[in-house]
Amino acid sequence: MTVGLEHYLVVSALLFALGLIGVIVRRNLLIIYMSLELMLNAANLALVAFSRFTNSLDGQVFVFFTITVAAAEVAVGLALIVALYRKRQTTHVEDLTTMKL
Amino acid sequence: MQDALFYILAFLTLVFGFLVIANPFSRNPVTSAMFLVLAIVALAGLFVLLHAFFLAAVQVLVYAGAVMVLFVFVIMLLDLKEEERRKIKVLGIVGGLVSVGAILAIFLSSLLNAPLGAVEAPVLDGSTVRLGKLLFTEYLLPFEIVSVLLLVAMVGVVLLSKKDLK
């Protein structure tokens, strides 16, 4: 069976689910952040696959923008984590409950 | 040949992705970061199979290069002790897995019912040239806005990293 669009979409869905499991189950802020990157990459794979199989490059342009925004997001997020660690000496989400009622 | 490569790369991507979130041998964030690099490189291989050569290069340069270096740098800067085992909330994990499984089931069932058909992939030629032209004509405004966004992010990061955060 030749590899088509649906194969790539299945891989993308599985990768997205893996990232979502990481965000929900893991309790370390840094690993939650890496799982977010995994989810973004899954979306990128779906976009590139659509762009290939519909013969239009718009999907690839979107992925280009996604990668740029993800880079900016990682920079800001990691700066926030460092600032948080300076104040609290922890990256464990269950220790960060100031906003909990 | 290409089909075999697809299966190998997809398998590697998923295995490395799994090792990022749940490594049975180590709970050290550095290990997770290294496996994330491998997953990203395997994903770049999938991009090559999809004839997105420019994006594969960008993926390796920006993600595996810049972003992951930043990650590893921050992990080492924080100097995390080995994460002590805490009591795991079984209810939370089961609930999380069930909800993720439900979302995945929705994805796959909608994929099964989608009228995709067995279309042969059309040939994209000179895709990097076309991508560049598209980026600087039709998508010129978003491109410029993204550059402003990067500037804003840079200013924000400098502000957040100051010693006495107000």
3-state DSSP of A73-90: HHHHHHHHHHHHHHHHCC
A57: CB partners within 8 A, 6+ apart = A51, B124, B127, B130, B131, B134
In a domain, B6, yes or no: yes
Is residue B147's pLDDT more than 70?
A: yes
Taking an 8 Å cut-off on Cβ atoms, the answer to whether A53 and B2 are in contact is: no
B157 touches chain A (CB under 8 A): yes
Six-digit token pair at A92?
A: 């464990």
Instruction: Identify the domain containing residue B135 by its residue range.
Output: 129-166
Could you report the predicted ipTM of this complex, rounded to two decimals?
Answer: 0.91
Question: Cα–Cα distance between A39 and A29 in angstroms, integer?
Answer: 15
pLDDT digits (tens, 9 = 90+) for B31-59: 999 999 999 999 999 999 998 899 999 99
Is A15 within 8 Å of B14 (Cβ atoms)?
A: yes
pLDDT of residue B82: 60
Enter the tokens of residue A99. 């906003």
Q: What tens digit of pLDDT does each residue of A89-100 get?
A: 888 888 888 888
Strand-pairing partners, residue A92, are A28
| B142 vs A contacts (CB less than 8 Å) | 65
The rounded Cα A50 to chain-centroid distance in angstroms is 19
State the Cα torsion A75-B85-B18-B97 to the nearest 10°: -100
List, in order of start, the domains of chain A with CATH numbers. 5-91 (1.10.287.3510)
- B6-26 tens-digit pLDDT: 999 999 999 999 999 988 888
Radius of gyration of chain A (CA): 17
pLDDT at A78 over 80: yes
Q: How many C-beta neighbours within 10 Å does residue A86 have?
A: 12
Q: What angle do CA A79, A81, A87 make, to 5 degrees?
A: 105
Cβ-nearest to B36 among A34, A63, A91: A34
Q: State how far the Cα of B75 lies from the Cα of B57, in Å rounded to an integer.
A: 25
For residues A83 and B121, the model is more confident at A83
Domain boundary (B83, B110, B143) is at B83
The count of structural domains within chain B is 2
Answer yes or no: is B121 within a domain. no
Confidence of residue A2 (pLDDT cuts 50, 70, 90): confident
pLDDT band of B156, cuts 50, 70, 90:
very high
Chain A interface test: which of B3, B6, B21 (most A C-beta within 10 Å): B21
pLDDT band at A57 (very low <50, low <70, confident <90, very high): confident
CB pairs under 8 A between A and B: 214
Contact: B29, A28; criterion CB under 8 Å: yes
Co-location of B143 and B69 in the same domain: no
